[in-house]
């Protein structure tokens, strides 16, 4: 099936199953969706030596990019075929430094969706649930 003919959920399910390639940003920021349902998505993410700031810590842009992705994909999972979205607001709270070379989970959940706007939240956590970063996002739905 042509990706443009798939609902957002179908496209993201195909991506999780490896039937279509992930977005090219995942080559720069290692993140891979692995589970999606309507309104929620889960990614595995791992910062590496390409993502460091001048002090040697993981740059905040890593968390920002990951959170933009999971919040947007959560909204996308609720859209019909041929409908797009764009982030118009992303509010991020960094709770602790993102560790280098450690796999973390990024979770996105829709809070509210209407005809023109999707509001979602995202978080980056470790396998024990420790919170590293949190975001809320507003996405414009492009019909």
- Paired residues of 112 in beta bridges: 119
Beta strands in 15-113 (DSSP E): 31-37, 40-45, 84-94, 104-113
Are 122 and 71 contacting, i.e. CB atoms less than 8 angstroms apart?
yes
Q: One digit per residue, pLDDT tens: the chain, 143 residues?
A: 787 899 999 999 999 999 999 999 999 999 999 999 999 999 999 999 999 999 999 999 999 999 999 999 999 999 999 999 999 999 999 999 999 999 999 999 999 999 999 999 999 999 999 999 999 999 999 98
Taking the CA atoms of the chain, what radius of gyration do you get in angstroms?
15
According to DSSP, the β-strands at 117-125 and 84-94 are: unpaired
């Amino acid at each position: 099936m042509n990706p443009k003919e798939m609902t957002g959920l179908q496209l993201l399910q195909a991506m999780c199953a490896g039937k279509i390639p992930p977005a090219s940003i995942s080559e720069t920021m290692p993140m891979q969706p692995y589970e999606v349902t309507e309104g929620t998505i889960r990614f595995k993410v791992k910062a590496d030596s390409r993502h460091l700031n001048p002090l040697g810590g993981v740059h905040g842009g890593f968390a920002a990019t990951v959170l933009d992705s999971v919040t947007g994909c959560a909204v996308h999972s609720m859209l019909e075929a041929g409908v797009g979205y764009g982030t118009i607001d992303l509010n991020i709270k960094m709770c602790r430094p993102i560790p280098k070379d450690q796999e973390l989970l990024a979770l996105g959940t829709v809070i509210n969706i209407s005809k023109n706007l999707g509001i979602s939240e995202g978080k980056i956590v470790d396998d024990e649930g420790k919170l590293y970063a949190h975001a809320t996002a507003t996405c414009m739905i492009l019909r």
